[in-house]
């Protein structure tokens, strides 16, 4: 699909590292499947992936870890 940020590139299927920050907690979620713009690098997550990412985020934030790095397990 066409990138809505730069309007100059198209997205390709790929994997990205999503960074979430809340309070003193930083969470990095690796290998999240996403559509990535070949021009500006902006990524788009599906609603399903967004849900998974936010669930992972909640786990880490509840634990109160300062820095957590996880790999997304996709069935």
Q: CB count, 10 Å around CB of 18?
A: 21
Stretch that binds Zn ion, among 3-11, 13-21, 26-34, 66-74 (CB under 5 A): 3-11
Task: Decide: is 14 part of the binding site for Zn ion (CB under 5 A).
Answer: no
Residues 41-70: x where in contact with Zn ion by CB under 5 A, - otherwise, as a string: -x----------------------------
Cβ–Cβ under 8 Å, residues 36 and 29:
no
The token duo for 66 is 């300062």
Cβ–Cβ under 8 Å, residues 60 and 70:
yes
Residues of this chain that interact with Zn ion (CB under 5 A) are: 3, 5-6, 9, 37, 39-40, 42
């Amino acid at each position: 699909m066409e990138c809505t940020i730069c309007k100059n590139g198209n997205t390709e299927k790929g994997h990205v590292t999503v960074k979430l920050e809340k309070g003193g907690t930083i969470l990095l979620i690796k290998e999240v499947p996403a559509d990535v713009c070949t021009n500006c690098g902006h990524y788009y997550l599906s609603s399903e992936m967004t849900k998974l990412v936010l669930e992972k985020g909640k786990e880490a934030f509840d634990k109160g870890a300062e820095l957590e790095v996880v790999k997304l397990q996709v069935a």
